[in-house]
Amino acid sequence: MPSTSHPIFARLYPRLSQAMDEGGMGGHRHALLAGLAGEVIEIGAGDGKNFPHYPTTVTRVQALEPEPRLRHLAQAAAGQAPVRIDVTDSLAERLPAPDASLDAAVFAFTLCTISDPDAALREAFRVLRPGGQVRFLEHVRAGTLGIILLQRLLATLAAAQITAFGAARRPLRPPGRRAGRSWPPLDFAVSGVYASGVGRNAVTRREDWPLL
């Protein structure tokens, strides 16, 4: 089973996400999802804070959350959402969807908790139809030394106390155009320690992208 149990993290995360939304993160979530339509997969749904922001042009969201306590909260939130949301147990590196079957894939504060974000992005693009979008809102590495050191300290403490952070991953560098990537480029904008953006799947045939 793909379930990943992290009880301490699961207890703290809802409080953290609520505080973030009260501090203005809800507006960023709304912007992240604006204009989406059709079938969407959300990778790492947490406690479902994105769900109220999906536009009614979305016909279905398959929301993945491997942590059982957070998944239970997300299932409750799905019942109050303006669109159909099915919450399931799955991992980002092995998405439960056929090739070229979905219109969008959404990451929100997820890539920094995944041990292999490249694999997660490859999977996201694999399941997209031609012209489909990957949308993301993520923590990224700060541009100033003081904040970088603070981020490293928090990542180390999180790894020690909140096992969901696995091998003490640091906040991501913006994931758009770095060398060695094995997925299409992502256009992004950075504001402070957050990056948001979109990638579009221009692949029309699987064999056109041999890395998959």
pLDDT at 183 over 80: no
Mean pLDDT of the chain: 74
What pLDDT does residue 2 have?
Answer: 56
Question: Partners of 53 in the beta sheet?
Answer: none
Residues 6+ apart with CB under 8 A from 11: 69
Determine the length of the chain: 212
DSSP string, 133-182: EEEEEEEB--SSHHHHHHHHHHHHHHHHH-GGGTTTPPPBPP-SS-TT--
What pLDDT does residue 190 have?
Answer: 52
Q: pLDDT digit string (tens) for 108-165?
A: 988 877 888 888 989 999 999 998 999 988 766 545 554 444 445 444 434 433 333 3
Q: How confident is the model at residue 182 (pLDDT cuts 50, 70, 90)?
A: low
Cα–Cα dist 49/65, whole Å:
12
Lowest-pLDDT choice from 12-16, 29-33, 40-44, 66-70: 12-16
Residue 11, Cβ neighbours under 10 Å: how many? 12
Q: Contact 212/206 with Cβ under 8 angstroms?
A: yes
What is the pTM (predicted TM-score) of this model? 0.74
Cα of 163 vs its chain's centroid, Å: 18
What pLDDT does residue 178 have?
Answer: 46
Cα of 202 vs its chain's centroid, Å: 21
- Average pLDDT for 184-197: 58
What pLDDT does residue 123 have?
Answer: 93
- Helix, strand or coil for residue 39? strand
Q: pLDDT digit string (tens) for 64-88?
A: 999 898 999 999 999 999 999 999 9
Q: Contact 118/182 with Cβ under 8 angstroms?
A: yes
Give 118 or 45, the one with higher predicted confidence.
45
Give 172 or 87, the one with higher predicted confidence.
87
CATH code, 7-144+171-199: 3.40.50.150
The residue with tokens 């995360």 is 13
Residue type, 163: T
